[in-house]
Amino acid sequence: MPPHFQLDEDNDVIHDAEAFSLATESAYQAAYSPLRLYLRQLVVDKVKRENPKLAAIQHRYRSPGLDRLFVFSGMLGNHSFFMIALPFLHTFGMGAFARGLTFVVLWSIYFSGFVKDYISAPRPASPPVVQITRSPAHTLEYGFPSTHTTYAVATIVYISHFMLNVWHISTVWVGLMWICGVTIVVGRIYCGLHSFIDVVGGIVIGIIEALCFVFFFDRLDALMLSTAGPLYSIAIFYFAMSSIPRSLDPCPCCIDSFCATSVTLGLSIGYWIHARLPFLWHTGQSDAISWDLSLTLTQNALRCLITIVGSKPFIVSMVKYLVPDYLSQVSSEECSDDSSAKDSDSDCKQDCYVAPTASNIKNRRYGSYALMVSHENLARIPIYSGIPITMCVVSPLLFYMFGLMPSS
């Protein structure tokens, strides 16, 4: 059976996690390595044991006010929020920090998605847990680790390093930022979207990733901006995409990974081109895409406007492709509690599913393979990489055309 959504009396989405998988246990035995099977079983057993605890927490603490708080905090830690917020860092010329934070956020999506596909453990079962979310499609993903937790923790750790060690900002502001992060993490449990082990896994991955970028991003950034930078970027992108584990279910985590890493690819190439634009050589400010202190406030405002408006077509495309079409249809149709919608959901999920036969397992063409190599998914690479390239290359060209370049 495909995943089933309905609305309870409080208009909360219910997801039958026990019916999530299209594959049988024998299929997992045939397709997964002994280590992968062992780790998966550990997490699955842990999630099952935690289900009654999660239901008890909701029964005791749920209230309309907390529902709104944690749903809102979840929106602050989702893909759309970061995709809208991150470009402003580049717009205001924060250079290496903006690139580093963008890499931290987007590679968090890749790393958490990688582990999700590898472990292939479902989310907490509903019922008994009630899943409170405005994005039912995300409950079609595996549960371990929590992606929200991964990039929330990674982002806060990375920013905290700069606030404390580079900018020397008061610890009060750092503490407030961590309170927001804790709210996002606790919200994943309160909303029934993740178990305790999912959140712990996200915290561990987020901290490790953030520390790696803190200590090594300067070297990586220099490598990406070197003469052969685009070749390194393409090689890293290809290795990352080809290394995504095949999952037995058409989990959309791989789509998020394609989108996120495509943006980092475009960002690396875009900044590489930007640093080599001839009319920027004399300024010595190759990092400042939009804001420049040598210009007037009006000129800077115009540059920001050009950057934001010029990128709008790509941002619209990004939002359009943020959730796969078939998942959007599942969410909207299933929530209407219509029997024909359920049939559509089943057909849709089956269309994206490749049975784990012996030959398919040998060739690694099973489960999510069809979803990964679909034309729609591959089309996301130029779409998402085009967003930062437009920001880094097209905007400065428009500045030059309209006489908004700083004086030499």
The Cα 46–Cα 42 span in angstroms is: 6
Q: What CA–CA distance (Å, rounded) separates 355 from 250?
A: 11
Tokens at residue 342, please? 């359920």
What are the pLDDT digits (tens) for 40-70? 999 999 999 999 998 998 889 888 888 888 8
In this predicted model, what pLDDT tens digit does every residue of 250-298 receive, in sequence order? 777 778 888 889 989 998 998 888 888 776 655 545 555 667 777 888 8
CA distance 31 to 37: 9
- What are the two backbone dihedrals, phi and then psi, of residue 125, each rounded to the nearest 5 degrees? -70, 140
Closest C-alpha to 133, from 319, 8, 318, 320 = 8
Q: What is the largest CA-CA distance in the chain?
A: 69
How far is it, in rounded angstroms, from Cα 329 to Cα 327?
5
Quote the tokens at residue 276.
């080599």
Burial class (CB in 10 A: 0-12, 13-18, 19+), 281: exposed
Pairwise CA distance, residues 263 & 259, whole Å:
6
Pairing type for strands 13-15 and 5-7 reads antiparallel
Going by the DSSP 8-state scheme, the letter that residue 5 receives in this structure is E
Confidence of residue 400 (pLDDT cuts 50, 70, 90): confident
**Quick check: 175 pLDDT over 80?**
yes
Over residues 174-178, mean pLDDT: 92
- Residue 14's SS3 state is strand
Q: What is the separation of C-alpha 220 from the centre of its chain, rounded to a whole number of angstroms?
A: 21
Confidence category of residue 354, pLDDT binned at 50, 70, 90: low
Phi-psi region of 76 (alpha: psi -120 to 50; beta: other; left: phi over 0): alpha
The model carries a pTM of 0.79
Which residues are part of the catalytic machinery?
148, 194
Q: How many residues does the chain have?
A: 408
Cis status of the peptide bond prior to 145, with omega within 30 of 0: yes
Q: How much is the average pLDDT of 369-393?
A: 78
